[in-house]
Structure 1
């Protein structure tokens, strides 16, 4: 853990903070070899690498509708209701993001300009899995795509050792509206979605979180498909003053740490008293949490900083551009209005990251590693495209005729100029 005043942080310490727990291993060559084999050998390569990496022999790559339905009805009914509650909230939030399907506006007499929205046809959603189940990720990746109007959403998720997919993952994908589910994980899943095989439908875009292998594979297939954004270890930054609850803040720090040993948790506060209490509370909670083996490893990535002013906290946060930003201050509107770089923002002591992770309705697939400076979290706009429209009468074209001719001829594109002139030839 790093605990000190912001002004005393050395350049080396700052560099370490902004490296997000250290550089990830370079796996580009390994990933490239696997992708090439999948591209050339399709299903045969998918089965080979599933055996190698997931220790599972699979016969049918796609999960049958019968298997999905059986899983749904075998999951505890009370848990299904919780999934449906979360799905409802996620769907409602993303429906509010939908743009107008088409609009037109007259900008000059005889010139109508507008825009048409069209959903992508085929989307691939990566849902981590294997022995564990991450139903929330199935909901977060599939539901926005379906809200946007995507015709086909294919889910890839790693199988368990016996070749089956965790029933809770299947149930959540069914609730979300997935059209196809494939028992594939890791690089082989990304390759299958990007290239298509006999069993797997090729997609136009791949979304969803994953480890360094999955992220590297997504980056390498961008000449074939689009992706949402690069993703790294999970992270939270908390801006707080003396109004914050130390126990609550510490619990959110520990919650991020349990993701993996590279997870990053930062508190920057104007209150020395709060910093001391949070520091003690983090160490206490880290001992008692069920995943304390992982938390202990990631404690090295905890940073507690004391700043002189709230403005200094805001400046540091925007430079870091966190995946998750929590604001625990008296004047939270002041901070919220000034923040520019954050994947998802949680305001107040009773707005933990876990709310957005599971049930409030916002999306938890978010840019990490500073990418919040240039990327938005997963939303409806990731699944649609915009086409501009112009509807121009002769009168309208005459209004801009001279401008078109002048600029096109200056660029030496005389056929462009003639295409306008010919419309006014007697």
Structure 2
């Protein structure tokens, strides 16, 4: 199902995984953006019918109504409500540890500090289409609420008839979402960025999505803020014992079932382990439901044989994967050497699904090697800070000579006058 390849240290593993349709996708996204900017809600509804909900009729409304909310609560199971509340409790506990605190202290010119404040209105994108993701509702909304965001606007693709799954609606209401938009894809991103009659213009857009969503987010960056590239799912798996080969195969399939564009890499310095992985892939594949999606995603995936642990660590850091699984009894000694990964799952009994759903850490993670410079979604994504500086006349006089020198060198006499006029 997958051949065993030898990793060459001078190769770039990411090159074969680059999207060959990138230019076409960018053109499509740009066309959608122009239409949304010109036609607003009408364009969003038209694209929603084209891409997600072909059975839409004239009664469709982009906004989830109170009636739909009430109906959703009657349709979800008690088990679902309890699972959501448990996950919410754990995710809240983890993210509560991230709250930054404003500070101010004396300095040579008076006092300085940092004043944190929440972003006022945030757009939360929750993916759909291939599967149902109430867990992504929690992962987007909880850190935003802890940060103190005033208004949460969630958008997610509807089903073929234009409705949303009741689990999505209930999860959103339980997490304090103010408005739920029944739209997905690039059109939803542009709606959040530009604003329409029904969709408020937001200050920041967060959440994972497909390549169209990811490219649209990057296109509106600067007009609004975005969290990070969070495109198709990825996993990098290190495994060093045949007893754990089945776990590695299962983790690869778990990410590949998300999307045909998903990808995965399994690394080992022991060929017997990789041969056992090959056997497990064939064995497990026959029992899976989403075989057509997984088969396409496997074309983006690979098994890599490395010489030793040091080379494995170098490869893991080069790939900088969204999810990194250290399926090894030696995970505690390997983990500190990992510099680039969205989330690290340590040990043979720590599946990605544990973190994806219920443990507490966030599952909105950087993809496409963005873990080299970005991190998991957190409270920090929903706050910003202003520096604070307070000086006295006496302290200003003390530093006037240095300020005169620096402003003169830069030939900015108006700057120098702001000091002398006060003294």
Please say whether Structure 1 and Structure 2 have the same fold, judged by a TM-score greater than 0.5: yes
Interval containing the TM-score (normalised by the shorter chain):
over 0.9
The 2-side partners of 1:72 and 1:422 are apart by 66
Matched, 1:44 2:42: yes
Matched, 1:136 2:135: yes
Alignment counterpart, residue 17 of structure 2, candidates 17, 20, 32: 20
Aligned-pair CA distance for 1:190: 1.2
The 2-side partners of 1:132 and 1:326 are apart by 23
The change in CA–CA distance for 1:17 and 1:421 in structure 2 (over 3 A counts) is closer
The 2-side partners of 1:226 and 1:292 are apart by 37
Larger deviation, residues 210-219 vs 372-381: 210-219
The change in CA–CA distance for 1:297 and 1:151 in structure 2 (over 3 A counts) is same
The change in CA–CA distance for 1:129 and 1:373 in structure 2 (over 3 A counts) is same
Retained in 2: the 8 A contact 1:21–1:263? no
Where does the alignment leave 5 or more consecutive residues of structure 2 unmatched?
Answer: none
Partner of 1:174: 173
Retained in 1: the 8 A contact 2:189–2:217? yes
Matched, 1:363 2:359: no
The 2-side partners of 1:354 and 1:129 are apart by 18
The 1-side partners of 2:358 and 2:239 are apart by 24
Matched, 1:91 2:99: no
Aligned-pair CA distance for 1:390: 0.9
Retained in 2: the 8 A contact 1:342–1:373? yes
Retained in 2: the 8 A contact 1:127–1:209? yes
Aligned-pair CA distance for 1:206: 0.9
Work out the number of aligned pairs and report it: 418
Aligned-pair CA distance for 1:271: 2.4
| Coordinate RMSD, CA, aligned | 2.0
Partner of 2:307: 308
Partner of 2:106: 106
Equivalent runs, 1:274-285 vs 2, <5 Å: 274-285=273-284
The 2-side partners of 1:37 and 1:98 are apart by 39
Partner of 2:79: 78
* Post-superposition CA distance 1:154-181 (Å, at most 9, x none): 0111222222211111011112211100
* Post-superposition CA distance 1:74-103 (Å, at most 9, x none): 210111110111111111111111111x10
Larger deviation, residues 301-310 vs 370-379: 301-310
Aligned-pair CA distance for 1:22: 4.2
Q: SS of 1:301's equivalent? A: coil
Matched, 1:346 2:355: no
Retained in 2: the 8 A contact 1:244–1:349? no
Larger deviation, residues 214-223 vs 89-98: 214-223
Q: SS of 1:254's equivalent? A: helix
Aligned-pair CA distance for 1:381: 1.1
The change in CA–CA distance for 1:6 and 1:50 in structure 2 (over 3 A counts) is closer
Matched, 1:257 2:256: yes
The 1-side partners of 2:282 and 2:332 are apart by 31
Where does the alignment leave 5 or more consecutive residues of structure 1 unmatched?
Answer: none
The 2-side partners of 1:131 and 1:210 are apart by 11
* Post-superposition CA distance 1:283-336 (Å, at most 9, x none): 211222122222223223332222222111111111111111112334323322
Aligned-pair CA distance for 1:132: 4.0
The change in CA–CA distance for 1:301 and 1:130 in structure 2 (over 3 A counts) is closer
Aligned-pair CA distance for 1:43: 1.9
Retained in 2: the 8 A contact 1:123–1:152? yes
* TM-score, normalised relative to structure 1: 0.92
The 1-side partners of 2:18 and 2:259 are apart by 11
Partner of 1:61: 62
The 2-side partners of 1:297 and 1:335 are apart by 31
The change in CA–CA distance for 1:17 and 1:415 in structure 2 (over 3 A counts) is closer
* Post-superposition CA distance 1:342-391 (Å, at most 9, x none): 11111111111111111111111111111111121211111111110112
Partner of 1:232: 231
The change in CA–CA distance for 1:66 and 1:367 in structure 2 (over 3 A counts) is same
Retained in 1: the 8 A contact 2:99–2:379? yes
Partner of 1:317: 316
Retained in 2: the 8 A contact 1:20–1:262? no
The 1-side partners of 2:277 and 2:210 are apart by 29
Aligned-pair CA distance for 1:20: 2.6
Alignment counterpart, residue 29 of structure 1, candidates 17, 27, 30: 27
Aligned-pair CA distance for 1:18: 4.0
Aligned-pair CA distance for 1:244: 6.5
Larger deviation, residues 273-282 vs 383-392: 273-282
